[in-house]
Chain A
Amino acid sequence: MSLLELHGVTRSVRLPDDRILEILRGIDLTVDAGEHVSIVGRSGTGKSTLLNILGLLDTPTAGEFLLDGVPIGRLSGRVRARRRGADFGFVFQQFNLLQARTALENVAAPLLYAQGKQFWARKRLAAEMLERVGLGDRLDTMPEKLSGGEQQRVAIARALVRGPRVILADEPTGALDVDTGGEVMDLLDTIAQENGSALIAITHDLAVASRAKRHFRLADGVLTPIAIGARSAGSLDGLSSSVERVPHGDDHQAEHVAVPLDPVATSRVGATPATGTTAPAARADDLLDDSVAAS
């Protein structure tokens, strides 16, 4: 039994002119405990909506979402909230730290919704978690006094303080520079692995995506399994990256598709920035577009 299972999940909204807009269409996804999955896609393709459904913040319009084999539709709002707090940790692009509260208070905040020992020992647990992310000396610092990377580390500590089984990261490096983003992802990967938490990263940054074991592309509300080649995932030292594409609905049999990368994209992806290349110009976002991916 998988940790999370989505079968034919659809999410649609009614527009003011009464038209129905389908944000997600027939999503199939299975995530096991401790697995690292990335979902890439351009802005407005439904990535955040998918993340919200996965994190029990939103419910599908149609289809089935199983959590530990139990359809979430059967869970009451209160139970869903409790499971969300206990099993899911969120890392947002804009950090979403609580203003006017210290790093320690921010990390302790989710423990206000915990039970028993976790609740009563929240300050100590939060301090230990901040120590783990390397901010043991910034416990009483306000978010606005922290750098972007430090703020995201506080957000990571906050997401992990209750020991969630799933970490949902929505553009975790979107507001950070390349180096800081890399450091933050290293930290997130490491702690997720240490905790045995599944990590689902939604991003349009190939460098972030490439860290995952399995990759998906979300375009026009449709989730498609893709495979990022060894060169792109491991060491993108060239001008192009191979993106493997598999037919829709099959997330295990990938098909290789060569995708060109521009210097900008490469520098965001790889540890070694590309220099002096004559690669075709295209942003990483564009690489995730159907037309480019299919080329």
Chain B
Amino acid sequence: MTGFFGALAEAWDELRVHKLRVLLALIGVAVAVCAITTITAAGDMLRQVSTEVSERQSGRPATLDISAYPTGQEAPGVEEYVAAYEDITARYEIEHSSMTMWAQTPIRFPGGTMEVQTNAVSAEWATMHRFVVDGGRWFTEADEGNLSPALVVNQAFLDALGQRIEDHPTVMIGGENPVLATIVGSYPNTWVDEGPSAYTLVSSQLRWATPESLLNTGPPRLEVWVPPDMADALTEAIRRDLAGAIPGSQSDVYRMDNPEMGMMDQATKWVILGVSVIALLLGGLGLVNIALVTVRYRIREIGIRRSFGASSGRVFFSVLMESVVATVVAGIVGVALAIVILHNVPLDTMMGPAVQDRPGFPVSAAVTGMVAAVAVGALAGLIPALVAVRVKVIDAIRY
């Protein structure tokens, strides 16, 4: 046991004495480990950004879009759709669901009335689509009973209104039944020069809109967020139920989110891993290079240590341990550097919109980086260790 600790103490002593050499040798390894950890974290972040962008568009896995289009002359009324959808969510005990109805709503802005694209949803919709407001708030259940419809509008809407969300603005919705709406929240424009748009609650929409205007832009749809492993079975069951509930219509149920995202994740992961391994190998080559030069420089010292009783095995192990201990230190430095970088660089905002569920520090990547660094250290130490063992003691002492 003392032999192991002795070799460890000897290796540490060597590293301590040759700080500069060690520093030079290990820059490559530290950078590689830092790169592995940072790239993995960046990859995780990229995947998360990509996932969240996709989920904003298409919902979380698995989101089913349910609709029924009339095939005959007589179209079903809105109340039939509402009843059928409520029946479906109740029957399958679906926790997260939202009806959606697109409409062109006349809004009376100071500059005149403008048809604004409005999406009527339920309060659950924001959770299902990772939707966040940047001012005010999203809908709550309390808004359902409010006689003044609640609106969540985009920045362009506020600009057209000439008010700020902090001022609790209201706006008149025109049409056959004009109503004063309360703007409770706002969200940023998605693109430059975007026109006004708004979200409202389905319950409010149903209250003040005429049945005809409700169906102008198509029948209401239902979105449900269900466990991915049940998606296929539910798709079939809901399609069947809906066909029965709304006769004379073609019911349609399809999965909105992209199940292929997982495969893309795997591909990204392998590319990142490949780049990292190459970086680490390059770092290891630098280490071998410097370690070899150093061993030749230390021939005399190795000879002296042999006179102290160091066996060839001990010399081999000590030189090997130097590389291993050094790469462990470099690995720790690399991981620490990665932590600093990840803590200070807003990777998510650099890649797109800020993520809601920020991925944690990639501990597995840090561990992988450390293990790889130790393995590279052992490999890099192997050649100098073999050279050290071949040193002829007598020549070494005379050297």
Contacts and interface: CB of A to CB of B under 8 A. Distances in A.
A95 to B, nearest CB: 10
Contact of A109 (B305, B311, B312, B393): B305
Contacts of B397: 57, 92, 96
B312 A77 contact: yes
16 contacts: A48-B394, A57-B306, A57-B394, A58-B394, A78-B311, A81-B310, A81-B311, A84-B306, A92-B397, A98-B301, A100-B18, A105-B13, A109-B308, A112-B10, A113-B310, A113-B314
Contacts of A82: 309, 311
Interface size class of B (residues with CB under 8 A): 20 to 34
Given A96-B397, A114-B2, A81 B309 contact: yes
B270 interface: no
A96 B309 contact: no
B313 interface: yes
A110 interface: yes
A158 to B, nearest CB: 8
Contacts of A240: none
Interface in A97-124: 98-101, 105, 109-110, 112-116, 119-120
A162 B394 CA distance: 22
B13 to A, nearest CB: 7
A77 B309 CA distance: 10
B374 to A, nearest CB: 23
Contact of B308 (A85, A100, A115, A119): A85
**Main DSSP-derived SS at the A contact region:** helix
Nearest to B17: A100
B108 interface: no
Q: Give 8 closest A-B pairs by Cβ, nearest first.
A: A85-B309, A81-B311, A110-B308, A113-B309, A119-B2, A100-B17, A112-B6, A78-B311
B5 interface: yes
B398 to A, nearest CB: 8
A145 B224 CA distance: 81
A266 to B, nearest CB: 30
A86 interface: yes
Given A92-B397, A113-B308, 12 more contacts: A52-B394, A57-B306, A57-B307, A57-B397, A58-B393, A77-B311, A81-B312, A100-B17, A110-B309, A115-B2, A119-B2, A120-B2
B305 to A, nearest CB: 7
B371 interface: no
Interface in B267-310: 300-301, 304-310
Nearest to B318: A112
Contacts of A112: 6, 9-10, 308
Contacts of B309: 81-86, 110, 113-114
Name which of B6, B9, B307, B312 has the most chain A CB atoms within 10 A of its CB: B307
Contacts of B398: 48
A59 to B, nearest CB: 11
Given A96-B397, A113-B314, A119-B2, A101 B306 contact: no
Contact of B307 (A49, A77, A84, A101): A84
B312 A85 contact: no
Contacts of A96: 300, 304, 397
Nearest to A53: B394
Contacts of A48: 394, 398
A55 interface: yes
A216 interface: no
Contacts of A98: 301, 304
Interface of A: 48-49, 52, 55, 57-58, 77-78, 81-86, 88, 90, 92, 96, 98-101, 105, 109-110, 112-116, 119-120
Nearest to A79: B311
Contacts of B308: 85, 109-110, 112-113
Name which of B13, B300, B311 has the most chain A CB atoms within 10 A of its CB: B311
A90 to B, nearest CB: 5
A190 to B, nearest CB: 23
A113 B6 contact: yes
Nearest to B312: A77
B394 A101 contact: no
A81 B394 contact: no
B379 to A, nearest CB: 25
Contacts of B306: 57, 81, 84
Contacts of A99: 301
A203 B245 CA distance: 113
A196 to B, nearest CB: 20
Interface string B1-18: 010011001100100011
Contacts of A120: 2
A110 B394 CA distance: 18
Contacts of A115: 2
Contacts of A86: 309
Contacts of A49: 394
B310 to A, nearest CB: 6
A119 B394 contact: no
A105 B305 CA distance: 13
A101 B16 CA distance: 10
Contacts of B2: 114-116, 119-120
Contacts of A90: 307
A90 B394 CA distance: 13
Interface in B168-204: none
Nearest to A90: B307
